[in-house]
Amino acid sequence: MDYISTRDTDAKPYKFCDILLGGLAPDGGLYLPADYPSLDDAELTRLRGVLAEGGYAALAGEIICKFIDDIEPVKLMELARNAYRTPVFSEEEIVPVTQLEDGIFIGRLSMGPTAAFKDMAMQLLGEFFEYELDRRKETLNILGATSGDTGSAAEYAMRGRHGISVFMLTPKGRMTPFQQAQMFGLADDNIFNIALDGVFDDCQDVVKAVSADAEFKRKWRIGAVNSINWARLLAQVVYYISCWIKLTDSNDQKVSFSVPTGNFGDICAGHVARQMGLPIDRLIVATNENNVLEEFFATGSYNVDRTAEKTSSPSMDISKASNFERFIFDLLGRDAARVKELFGTRVKQGGFSLAGEEAFDRIETDFGFVAGQSTHANRLETIRQCAADLNTLIDPHTADGVFVARKFKDTTESPIVCLETALPVKFAETIEEATGTSPEITGRFEGTMDQPRRVTDMPNDAEAVKSFIVERVTALRS
């Protein structure tokens, strides 16, 4: 299995371990498999048996083995078992699927240590990183950006791991109190939280700017855990397959997925699964008021020349969807020169349009994508109605997914799985506004809000962030 960059016209091949620790390709592109492995009828049948007999970890091991040939299969199986186990995850099933109403189900992705879907990828990524760094006898300084849940999931996955430090940028004042408490309450010596004076897109731009400095990146061993890292998407492919198996009895049955979407990572994993041959009907992109992606799927115009608006589904308050480049690469027939021009030049100038092009007209027929958006009022009513009528409390991002799924339900022949973003406790303010009652913080999250906070306020300046990294890493080494 070789990997290539979305912007490399020479399609230089890399192995998985070559791309694992770096994130972005040297040319600024994103890595994808040179060819997607295939899930034919016989293999789908076999995977049903794997999940039934060995559980989620066994299924994950089988899938990652299809994408990685420079780590021994027995080791990959071990890493998968280490990642997907109790009590790291609160349910043995790891990803339960429950029915919300007729035709709509919830894929429960909140069973991990931070109660967010990001745990599904981060726990495996932590295993990958520690294994590869120990093998190479190297260290890694992870630089990431978060609009809500990526940061805490990354920090909980990497805390205390040998040879790894985490520097996580957050948009100051933009996360919920619970999200801030989860991150800023960690006292581990290898975890550093930075509150940047800006929005998530600014944080993401700083990460890209630091990563683009090849000499700094090399000298200070900078790596990435944001969804630009291919290994995260690989981990997320697994739960699409798991959910499909649980909702079907035969391989000719299809399932659709409604995915709350900001950075296009979660739903991009669904795109990969569909390209492999998983019988996915529709991939429903659910956005909030920051509807750059919904606008693209409706009009062909990808307009990123805007500042993300602060909303009640903050993890989706993004105007530049990093993983969107991966889909456009496939949509345009893997034309690296065109992708380089669109994302390396045009996006920096405000965006681009594919309206009128033959490729744009094939998005739904060939790739299954449709899109919709919700407003704050839509989310509140969806949360209220699900709690009152269906006895199910959902977070505001999942409410985006449910609201948009309902818009497409009558025209979708297959059952729709709404992929859960997080537990409602992470967004108590919005839940209380919708239902009149704040979700209780109990069990594994009791005491989260009471921890002292460790966070450094910084200006929106890549050079300032570089200096901070140098200072802290030097101190750790001394």
Rounded-to-integer distance, Cα 237 and Cα 231, Å? 10
Q: Which of 118, 217, 320, 466 is catalytic?
A: 118
**How many beta carbons lie within 10 A of that of residue 174, not counting itself?**
22
Q: Determine if residue 350 is left, alpha or beta; phi over 0 gives left, psi from -120 to 50 gives alpha, anything else beta.
A: left
Return the ∠ at Cα 190 (arms to 185 and 194), rounded to 5°.
60
Measured in whole angstroms, how far is the alpha carbon of residue 353 from the centre of its chain? 25
Could you tell me if 67 and 75 are in contact, meaning their C-beta atoms sit under 8 angstroms apart? no
Question: What are the distances in angstroms from CA 438 to CA 351, 427, 433?
Answer: 40, 9, 8
Give the pair of three-digit tokens for residue 128.
């990958």
Could you tell me if 183 and 168 are in contact, meaning their C-beta atoms sit under 8 angstroms apart? yes
Rounded-to-integer distance, Cα 204 and Cα 169, Å? 8
Give the pair of three-digit tokens for residue 452.
């002292």
Give the pair of three-digit tokens for residue 8.
């490399």
Q: Which residue has 């079907």 as its token pair? A: 248
The residue type at 416:
I
Q: Helix, strand, or coil here: 208? A: helix
Secondary element (H or E) of residue 304? none
Please report the DSSP string for 241-260 in residue order. HHHHHHH-SSTT--EEEEEE
Q: Which one, of 77, 102, 197, 203, lies nearest residue 151 by Cα?
A: 203
Q: Is 426 a known active-site residue?
A: no
Question: What are the distances in angstroms from CA 179 to CA 16, 138, 176, 234, 361?
Answer: 32, 31, 5, 25, 40
The residue type at 141:
N
Could you tell me if 80 and 61 are in contact, meaning their C-beta atoms sit under 8 angstroms apart? yes
Rounded-to-integer distance, Cα 101 and Cα 106, Å? 10
**How many beta carbons lie within 10 A of that of residue 474, not counting itself?**
10
Q: Report the DSSP beta bridge partners of residue 97.
A: 107
Secondary element (H or E) of residue 180? helix 177-184
Q: Which residue has 């894929």 as its token pair? A: 107
**How many beta carbons lie within 10 A of that of residue 173, not counting itself?**
9
Question: What are the distances in angstroms from CA 175 to CA 169, 234, 367, 374, 474?
Answer: 12, 27, 33, 20, 30
Catalytic residues: 118
